[in-house]
Each structure stands twice: as structure tokens, then as C-alpha cells.
Amino acid sequence: MTDSWARARQILAAAGLAPDALTHLTPLTGGTYNTVEELRLTGGGRYVLKVAPAAEGLRHERRLLVNEAEFAAGAARAGVPAPRVLVPGDRLLMTALPGTPWDDDTLTDAERRLLRVELGRLVARLHQVTGPGFGYPSGALGPLAPDWRTAFTTMLDAVLADARDHRPWLPRPVDAIAATLAAGYDALDAVTVPRLVHFDLWPGNILVDRSTGTPRVGGLVDGERMFWGDPLADFVSLALLGDLRGDDAFLAGYREAGGRAAFDAPERLRLALYRGYLYLIMLTEVVPRRADAAHLDWVRRAVAPHLVAALDEIDALSPVS
């Protein structure tokens, strides 16, 4: 019996499940931070165990699994398929969901359009869930803030501090990046209601279920990056390294279910800030995660130009003082 099996049985017991019923333990790949394992029990039960790493990553990554539990609770309130938490904490046990990660290569154009419409509806429902304040529920960067500007500038300050500490390769000096981001901060004041933001809805975290024949969204997973804030921020990962404005199917479903997205100049400025935040994280995290040469090359070629584009858009859209 390995340490992983002993740990899994201990967590199953804490959930009131029979630890001796564990028959399969499979590490799941695709995540980049926590250890994730699928647990299968006799009788067909399937669960997912997430274990926080011992080593610290970036500042906002402390106690990430608190965010995961908060996302699961919010998704349940919205009626959006997501894992149900059985045991919270740094060893988080959740129910498993049907389906496999979204893969465009396995879908016809018609299937993809239907799924994007469905996804838009689900995300709009998530965005109707409101929280008690702005920021990360984990408390990694302090308590929830009373306004979005305070919360988001704290989030940006944290990753800028990480960049200064870890000294990753960046396409512009950290201080220049910080100054450009700050020029757009006034736009954040338009956000007055803290709404549930997943912030990591790339295809790997969207499950597609084919069990009934017609592909459906089986669930939204890996909610550990969630925060209470501006729902527009979800549009960054939903079109990672792209532009959601061209996703007519998603936007049709999103608006049909009550989501609002005008993409006027103030919204585009906020989106540029959120793109800057995510792409700065992606360029900085490679140092504490000890990324290999291939990944370092990829972030330079694929991510850095999008950070530069976001900064240029902030420059173009920010009011001239």
C-alpha cells in the first residue's frame, strides 16, 4: 500500500465512505498546481481527491482549495453542474463528474456550436451568484474587500510582487507593466456587485459528456482560481489567448440566460486588465514551478505577445490625464 492509497482511504473514511471499498487510484494529469487523483470504489462510486502542494507558489495560490470549495457551493446555488465537496481542506474530496475534457478535434461544427451555446447559458447562471465581498475567498491576499478596485489592484500588486521576487523573463520591465496597468484602474469602479468568477474556464476544465449520445456539458471543474468580482474576467480563459467577441454561439447562450456583455470601450479596458493579470501570472509561475525548456519557450512565443497586446490596449483605452 503506497502513501497515496493510505491517504485516500483516510479521506474516504472522513467522508463516511468505506475506505476498504477503494479499488483504483489514478493520478489525473492536466492540472498544474495541486496533486489530483481519481478514486474508484466497489459498486461504481467515483471521487476526486485534490491535495495542496507542500511548496508555496505565487502569493494568490495559498489555500487555493478554499476557493475550490466556494466555487462548488456557488455552482450548486446556480444549478450548474460542478463537483460536490465531501471533505473540505487541503485534502479536498469531491464527487467526480461524467465526461472528458473538451476537445474540439472530437466535435463536429454543429456539436461545437450547441455546446458553446450551452456553456454560455451555464456561465451566465454562474455570474448570477453573488458573494459577500470582492476577491479570493481563501484569504490568501487578505480579507474580502468592499469594492472591486481595492480587490483587483491587490491581486495585481501580488503578482507584480511575485514577478519582482522570481524575476521571470517578461516582454517589458515589471515597473513599466505596473505603470501601464495602473492607468486603467479607474475603469474598475464600474463594478459594484461581487459575482462568482471561475477564471480558469479553458477547455481542459470543461467536461463534455456523451453518455446520452448527444454531447452535453458534463460539468465545470477545477474552480480553485475562483474569486468574487467582475464576470467579464471569465471571458479571458473562455477564449484563452484569443478573443471571445468572435464566439457568437457562446455569447448567444450567455445573453439568452441573462448575461450582459456590451464590449464597449470601458468593458474592453477592464478585459485588457484581466488579460494582463492572467498572462502575467502565466509568465511568472514558470519560475516557482520549475518549468522545462519547452514550456519556457512556449510562454515566450505564445503568451508574451498577448500580454503586450493587453498592455497596448490599456494604453489606447485609458483616459489621458
Q: DSSP secondary structure string, 80-117?
A: -----EEE-SSEEEEE--SSEE--GGGS-HHHHHHHHH
Which pLDDT does position 1 carry in this prediction? 40
Mean pLDDT over the full length of the chain: 95
pLDDT tens-place string over residues 92-102: 999 999 999 99
- Residue 321 confidence (pLDDT) above 90: no
Say which CATH class 100-317 falls into. Answer: alpha beta
pLDDT band at 147; cut points 50, 70, 90: very high
Locate CATH 3.90.1200.10 in the chain.
100-317
Q: Which CATH architecture has domain 3-95?
A: 2-Layer Sandwich (3.30)
pLDDT confidence of residue 30: 62
Long-range pairs of 170-173 with CB within 8 A, sequence gap ≥ 24: 170/280, 170/283, 170/284, 170/304, 170/307, 171/304, 171/305, 171/307, 171/308, 172/308, 172/311
| CATH 3.30.200.20 segments of the chain | 3-95
Whole-angstrom Cα Rg for the chain: 20
pTM for this model (two decimals)? 0.94
Q: List, for residues 7-52, the tens digit of each pLDDT value.
A: 999 999 999 999 999 999 999 876 557 889 999 999 889 999 999 8
- pLDDT tier at 140 (50, 70, 90 boundaries)? very high
CB 68 within 8 A of CB 75: no
Residue 39: strand, helix, or coil: strand
**Cβ-contact 112, 104 below 8 angstroms:** yes
